[in-house]
Structures are given as structure tokens and as C-alpha cells.
Amino acid sequence: MRFADYAKIYITAGKGGDGSAHFRREKYVPKGGPDGGDGGTGGSIILKGNAQLNTILDLRYKKYIKAKPGENGSGSRSTGKDGESIILNVPLGTVAFDAETRERLGEITDDEQELIIAKGGKGGLGNWHFKSSTNQTPQFAQEGKPGEERVVELELKLIADVGLVGFPNAGKSTLLSALSHAKPKIADYPFTTLEPNLGVVKFSDYRSFVMADIPGIIEEAHQGKGLGIQFLRHIERNNVLLFMVSSDTDIEYEYKALVAELEAYRKDLLDKPRVLAITKMDLKQGFKLDKEFHIDDEIPVIPISSATGHGIDELREKLWEKIQHAKQADT
């Protein structure tokens, strides 16, 4: 199934049922008092987390969604039936925004978690509620309230242990393929990856972690250039960032440019643990860099070659170590 990480839907929750203006009328009670029941609550529209999903593609083709209204009240103080709610299954990492105000409605992070994004209208009160010492026979009842109506934007932010950060053609897809059983499209030209790919990296001792290969960043991506924000939003949910720079480029310049793009988009992303992999080392004589490259002691620099396997085991272990530290820091 094609990956989709954005959808815009037009939703209307159900109207509440009207209260009833009914009077008790029985064979031996010809002038009974008011007994009109309340209206039922309108159906809501609810997002529900589903760990088996990884795309919100279906919602692109289901743009207009309307829940059922509540039923009207009736005699004998009978309350109308509530309208049926509509449940939209979405993958974990889905964030909902009001499209007009950009109010953040909530985020789905757990399987089976539910989030009401449009609440059904409250049912109207029946006329028996309005009986008083001065009005023994109220001839009126309340109308049901309308359900919430809004335009909602859904954004999917991938949940992965490691997110790959690099310019196009830095070797991200090749590394994902080398480390896991994922089969992303790979070719020797920029922007081969046009949508995110997830892979599970496994160890011989049954340890594993999830890695996300996300479309390559370009300079000024934070301003929406290239794949822009479509790329950057996904790294918000990763525990560790693996920066990837090709050995046949100006390593220092490209690394600093990647850091600058993340900082311009969201400064706190740089608080995440980082590892720098210098890729395509098979292009270098003796698998050695022309000069040593050092950032600081907190950020390991690991030269690798996905084609030959050079440095891959060291990188895998270092990523595992960083993931464990990140998880401990969150607890």
C-alpha cells in the first residue's frame, strides 16, 4: 500500500435528538402530566489508534464524514437512542489539527487509544423537566444541539527508534537495506526515496530496533523547499538521529548544513542523541578518510560502507547503545 502521511477531512458530528413535548394519556388518567423524554446524543467522530496501520491513505478518499443524529425523545419519559459514532482507524503517530485555527486536537500514540475530534450534539430535554408550581403543563421541549463541525488536518509522524538524516544520495536507503529486510527503491540519483520506509534492524541475540529512511533533506527545507516539511515532521518522533554524509563530499559543510536545517525547523530536535555515519567509504583508498573528522565526544563518527559491510556492525551496536540511553532518559 502506498504511504500517505497527510489527509484533510471535513467532519460533522451528529445533531442531538429533540426533547419530546408529550403528556401522559391513559384510559384512567385522561389528564396526566408532562412525560416527554429527552433526545439522544448525536454520534461523535473518533480517531482510534491501530498499530497494524502505517498510512492514512484511506482518509484521502473519505473526505466528507458525517455521524448519525440522536433520536428524538418520546412519551413515558423515554430517551431517544444515541446516534452511532464513526470511528476512524489511524496509525500510531497521527496528530490532528483544526485546519482553520491550527489548534492541536490531540495525538494518537497507543494502540486502541481513542480521540474525539468532533463531539456529537447534546439531546434536548423533554417537557417534564420544565414542570413547575406555576406551569403544570409545559407545552414545549428543548431542541437538540448541533454536533461539532470542522475541517481537520491529520499528519502522520513516524514512530521509529532511529531516523536517518541526510541529503539526497547520501546512502540512506542502501544502509536501511543492508541493516534490515526492508527493500526501498535504490538508484544512483537524488530523491530516489519519495516516501518514508521503515525497517527492523535485528541482532543475532534477538535484540532489534526500528529505523526510518525518510526522503532526503535539502538546504532551506525548513522553508518548504524540496520535500520540505513533509520530511522534517517525521524526525520529531525518533529517539536517535543518524546523520549520514557521503565520503565523496565536503563532510564538514554537509554535516553543518543538516544541523542548520533541523535547528531552523525545531531547535529542540538537536537535543536528541546523534550519531554521524560517513558513508561510501569503499570509494576511499584503504577505507580511510583524507583527514580525521571530529565533532565532539558525545557524537560518535563512524565510517561505513553498506556495499562491503565495513563499519556496519560497529554502527549497529552504537545505535543500540544510544537508543537505550535515550529510553532511560525518558523514564
pLDDT value at 1 more than 70: no
Question: What DSSP string describes 175-204?
Answer: HHHHHBS------SSTT---S-EEEEEE-T
Query: Do 123 and 144 touch, CB atoms closer than 8 A?
Result: yes
Residue 153 has φ and ψ, to the nearest 5°, of -105, 130
Split at pLDDT 50, 70, 90, the class of 231 is low
**What pLDDT does residue 29 have?**
65
Does the pLDDT value for residue 20 go beyond 90? Answer: yes
Q: What is the pLDDT of residue 62?
A: 86
Which residue type occupies 203? F
Predicted confidence at residue 227, as pLDDT, reads 46
d(CA 94, CA 60): 14
Q: Decide if 198 contacts 233 (C-beta within 8 A).
A: no
Is pLDDT at 184 greater than 70 in this prediction? no
What does the pLDDT look like over 37-78, one tens digit per residue? 999 999 999 999 998 887 788 888 888 999 999 999 999 999
Average pLDDT over residues 237-253: 89
Inform me whether the pLDDT recorded for 194 exceeds 60: no
Q: What is the pLDDT of residue 217?
A: 63
Residue 231's SS3 state is helix
What stretches of the chain show up as alpha helix (H) in DSSP?
172-179, 228-232, 251-265, 312-330
**How high is the pLDDT of residue 83?**
97
List, in order, residues 6 or more apart from 205 with CB less than 8 Å away: none
Tell me the average pLDDT across 235-239.
82
Q: Residues 25, 27, 32, 37: is their CA dihedral positive or negative?
A: negative
| Beta strands, E only, 206-311 | 208-213, 238-246, 274-279, 301-303
Task: Tell me the pLDDT of the chain averaged across its residues.
Answer: 84
**Which residue shows C-alpha cell 562491503?**
308
pLDDT-wise least confident of 36-45, 171-180, 265-274 = 171-180
Most confident of the ranges 180-184, 226-230, 261-265: 261-265
pLDDT in tens, 292-324: 777 888 899 999 998 899 999 999 999 999 999
The closest of 29, 2, 5 to 232, measured between CA atoms, is 5
pTM over 0.75: no
Most confident of 63-72, 199-208, 211-220: 63-72
What percent of the chain lies above the pLDDT cut of 70? 87
Structural domains of the chain sorted by starting position, each given as residue range(s) with its CATH number in brackets:
1-156 (2.70.210.12), 160-330 (3.40.50.300)
Q: For 269-287, how does the pLDDT look when each residue is reduced to its tens digit (9 = 90+)? A: 889 999 999 999 998 888 8
Interatomic CA distance for residues 63 and 252, integer angstroms: 46
- 137-159 average pLDDT score: 92
Q: Which amino acid, 219?
A: E
- pLDDT value at position 230? 59
The C-alpha angle 230, 235, 239, rounded to 5 degrees, equals 165
CA distance 301 to 316: 13
- Please answer whether residues 275 and 302 qualify as being in contact, where contact means their C-beta atoms are separated by less than 8 angstroms: yes
Question: Is there a contact between 254 and 167 (Cβ–Cβ < 8 Å)?
Answer: yes
Higher pLDDT, 194 or 272: 272
In total, the chain counts a number of residues equal to: 331
CA distance 126 to 128: 6
CA angle 293–294–298, rounded 5-degree value: 145
DSSP-based three-state secondary structure for 60 = helix
pLDDT of res. 224: 46
Q: Which helix (H) or strand (E) holds 161?
A: strand 160-166
b/e sequence 134-169, b meaning 16+ C-beta within 10 Å: eeeebeebbbbbbbbebebbbbbbbbbbbbbbbbbb
The confidence band for 170, taking pLDDT boundaries of 50, 70 and 90, is confident
Rounded Cα–Cα distance for residues 142 and 147 (Å) = 15
Mean pLDDT of 202-222: 71
Q: Which of 314, 287, 302, 279 lies closest to 174, judged by CA?
A: 279
Chain centroid to Cα 311, Å, comes to: 33
